[in-house]
Chain A
């Protein structure tokens, strides 16, 4: 069991994570020029942050990720002011020059297939948005969160950090709600269907800094949209914090797919909070692909709020030397007759470590729930480690629920078979790992994503 006998000190010896960069005046600076409802929301979020102790490994949800060791909040800088000034002018986003963009960002975008629209974010600031004019004429909104504050205040007042990810959900939810600098707002009106995905590419250049962005996706009744959210950076020598808050609301009969493709460089602490609210007869699927960063923590809470709601929750991570992944999921069955099916897989090389903690919670009266949860881990090296906590809490009796977890090594029979067909051991191992992780991708075959992820893993396996 983890070390619970010592009492954790606050990180960096600072009370509750208030630092030279994160403090009330930073909140004030970042909210300069904002409407009162938003400035107040930030202030309230900040006081929630101040009140909430930093999570320690004594908390079940943080049992295997020791923030005291892994996150040095007091060494991070934060730069919210210049953005505020830029937005206060209310000018259009500057034209984005892909040719002049950093190599990795350009390569990522060029590898993308056709899209309904693009968003580019650099260092927590949206620098480019485009949307198919045909969709815009049907009422689809794709814009930066900063612009949405001015252009769609009612929708934001109602949904931003309220129903899905309010500051009250935790220390880091509060920090993000207080300090976000920009993000993406997508609204798909009733009955509108987007054939091609919306693609967001985020890039970081500044080491030693904390970045906070938010995404709000509103899918009205019977609409359809898929959203691919890719994050990249160079490798950093200094720890860099990348905090993302993602709120997805699918109204009755809507179909939404949210894909996160995390390819941050080493040195990045990626903190991702996602909450999905699935209405009656909606489909709200998620895929979290974690390939990069030094530490990557994802909290995903999927709430099934309407009868007939359906959520497929998929995830994969591929870790190498020095990486730590922590996925904390919950399948929250509030309404009867809903279904959720989770599959998270991890392949770990070097001394990489993965944590999966998932819970299926079936509330009273959520009868006729179907909920499944599977976590499978492949340890490719003798120093890799996997911890798995697949939990069930069932308070209704007429349900079908199951969970399974496995940890093991490469199947020797599979290797033997491939090698008997003339493949080298290396090649055979690569194929088995790809096959293992490929099962997750095949469940959400979104144009471009499968190829891109497969290619990245293949390259990394070859270097290994």
Chain B
């Protein structure tokens, strides 16, 4: 089609985060996962003995657990994992000023716009490159109020009691195969503590970049939002495109204390050679609110189901998920809400777009335990299919043990209607403009919740992805 040719000439469909930085790491483990690698990581981090023991125990659990047979296609993953570098240390120590970050790495983050955003709209920034946080800083006013925003390693070093009290309590190593893997080889990620009653008016952001080929990134984040606090944490992820597969498996644990309000936003735009298998869970106490805003645009396969365990009376959990699956991509995403206390409420809203040979899957759980009286939950899933080669699935699990509750699930699957397209084109739009507008309208309920910069970026991405999709 002529339109498609023109688009291709413009090169708009390219992944704009594909650039490789030439540099030499200061340390790199061998390929594959074994006890030696685990011991090396622990030694590199100069960890206390209990942490090494905990890592080795997790490795045992990992080895004992079978590879999941549900979700995406993991049949080639073992081969991929044998070739992966589990730990790559890019520089000697983490810096507090961009000026001290090695120029090649600094340039990478400048191209991603991180230092600029930090000055304008963020309360604090962490930047991870390969296996380590290379930069972490928090604005002074928040530091003065006792907010901790640090790399996970510094969290362990500088706040050992707090760290040990919560680490692995939300997501134990034995939770699943990949949480066990992460517990064995974790490196990088953030340690966040928001003191009682402190309300951050701008977000904290962590940015994750994988640069090397055949690299595995295993960030570990632990967040404690103390009573009555309020904060928003944003995570962004990119990597260059290689012909071989890379691997990312994070574990995010969040404790939301009574009356606190925490929002965790992910904009995942990994290159399409990335396996992205992440476990994210929050424990939500009395009258607290947890919101997950989960955007999955990149990766080859993502399996990720952010969850809220509503432990305290009046707790509220919300999961808003948006997935885009282009050619060859499988987004197996969704969310879990577990009602374990009375008067808890939750909502899951999921929107997905499948294009070309892309496949989006919603997989979710809504569980109400006996005794969680007056629990209310509503789940809505909408899927949009762009081509006849696209695929979508919906697998909700609804388990209700309490009759004094009110639970609903709804899903629809549709195609962009010829009538909608015709209407917009009759107003003078090209077919592609019309398609992009309809898709933007479809994701708007979620996009509008993003910080402005991200909403603009998401819309731009969708527009690019929709170019050349019709005709």
Contacts and interface: CB of A to CB of B under 8 A. Distances in A.
Contacts of A398: 388, 415
A401 B412 contact: yes
A3 interface: no
B407 A406 contact: yes
A397 B390 contact: yes
A394 interface: yes
Contacts of A439: none
A396 interface: yes
B413 interface: yes
A391 interface: yes
Interface stretch (A198-206, A375-383, A453-461): A375-383
B34 interface: no
Interface in B360-406: 365, 367-368, 370, 383, 385-388, 390-406
Contacts of B70: 60
What is the interface residue range for chain B against chain A? Answer: 35 or more
A390 B412 CA distance: 12
Interface string A364-390: 100100000000010111111111111
Contact of A408 (B365, B388, B405, B410): B405
B398 A402 contact: no
A403 interface: yes
B408 A405 contact: yes
B411 interface: yes
B409 interface: yes
A392 B394 contact: yes
B398 A388 contact: yes
B414 interface: yes
A390 B396 CA distance: 6
A404 interface: yes
A149 interface: no
Contacts of A406: 406-409
Contacts, number: 114
Contact of B409 (A385, A390, A409): A390
Given A398-B415, A408-B405, A389 B410 contact: no
B413 A408 contact: no
A401 B410 CA distance: 11
A401 B413 contact: yes
A405 B381 CA distance: 12
B413 A402 contact: yes
A157 interface: no
A426 interface: no
A427 interface: no
A1 B400 contact: no
A38 interface: no
Given A400-B414, A407-B400, A394 B392 contact: yes
Nearest to A384: B403
A329 B406 CA distance: 24
Interface in A305-342: none
B294 to A, nearest CB: 20
Contacts of B411: 390, 392, 402-404
Nearest to B69: A58
Given A391-B393, A392-B413, A405 B398 contact: yes
B407 A407 contact: yes
Contacts of B405: 379, 407-409
Interface in B149-174: none
Interface string A397-431: 11111111111110000000000000000000000
Interface of A: 1, 60, 364, 367, 377, 379-409
11 contacts: A364-B388, A379-B403, A382-B370, A383-B370, A384-B403, A385-B399, A386-B400, A389-B397, A391-B396, A402-B411, A407-B406
Q: Which 8 residue pairs are nearest across A and B when measured between Cβ atoms?
A: A379-B403, A397-B385, A392-B394, A388-B398, A407-B400, A401-B413, A402-B412, A407-B407
